Amino acid sequence: MEHISLGRTGLKVSRLCLGTMNFGPLTSEEDSYAIMDRALELGINFFDTANVYGWKMGEGVTEQIVGRWLQLGGGRREKIVLATKVFGRMGEGPNEHRLSAYHIRHACEESLRRLKTDHIDLYQMHHIDRETPWDEVWQAMEVLVQQGKVLYVGSSNFAGWHLAQAQETARARCFLGLVSEQSLYNLKDRTIELEVVPACRAYGLGLIPWSPLAGGLLGGVLQKISAGRRADKDMQKKIELHLPRLKAYEALCRKWSEKPADVALAWLLRNPVVTAPIIGPRTLEQLNGSLRALKIKFSRDELKQLDAIFPGPGGEAPEAYAW
């Protein structure tokens, strides 16, 4: 397993990040433990979760599963870079979501309790809060860093302008600010190439793509359906919408003798701004299979072939749409 600095920091993380969103809703606790143990064996040390995962409001189901796994000992906590998130609704009260200093403090304490640890390595804002001023957000985060409860702060689902606002405010406060941004990014969904990717480069943020397989569309979905696997109605609609491109993509992958999922991950990894795509395996088989992506390299011609099937927004702004 390769390891790389998280953005401009000295922190080293694996080139693949283990996403835990399936733990609880789709993957049993026992199987979740096996996946996390195997990830460590493979050298994956970057684990990502969120307080809302598990989708039972206020319970933090997935954080609890990760916490019980950490409590098994064996140096598990010391071997991983643990990332979680704050923003989502964790109760019915008016202050039980978003990024007020009040909620950040309380949400952090609750995540620490569920994760059974005394610190969070990367505390990520799950979404921009349009109602809370940046000075308030950063003051709350500074306190958590000073207390040793948080080491680094990251963002998720921010626009380029949000990243600039956050970093310039942090700079004025002599605070490190953001070290990473977690965004929707894959071959099909390339909007962030306009402004988020260049903003991450300019501010030294590690880009952590979520949904690298576009919700399964880039994972060989046509082959799986033809092999008898069922797809829900939403997936069927997406397949129908993108069918010509998916046929061309899977045909190209067959030509290269590579699995579509591996090609999709490798395409992200070839971007120097990308730190680690988030993989969300439901099974050990899926986890083991993802390692092939680390070995795939593309020629310029091969990248052009992928661009022809999944064209991006035209490059970075403003050149993508203006002189």
Could you read off the pLDDT of 138-194 as tens digits, one per residue? 999 999 999 999 999 999 999 999 999 999 999 999 999 999 999 999 999 999 999
Residue 230 has pLDDT above 80, yes or no: no
The burial class, CB within 10 Å (0-12 / 13-18 / 19+), for 174 is exposed
What string of DSSP letters covers 141-190?
A: HHHHHHTTSEEEEEEES--HHHHHHHHHHHHHTT---EEEEEEE-SSS--
C-alpha distance from residue 112 to each of 60, 108, 177 (Å): 11, 6, 21
Q: Edge-to-edge strands of the sheet including 206-210?
A: 206-210, 178-184, 150-156, 120-125, 81-86, 46-48, 17-19, 278-279
Catalytic sites, residue numbers: 53
Do residues 263 and 310 make contact, with C-beta atoms less than 8 angstroms apart?
A: no
pTM higher than 0.75: yes
Q: Which domains does the chain have, with CATH numbers?
A: 3-215+260-306 (3.20.20.100)
pLDDT bracket for residue 229 (50, 70, 90)? low
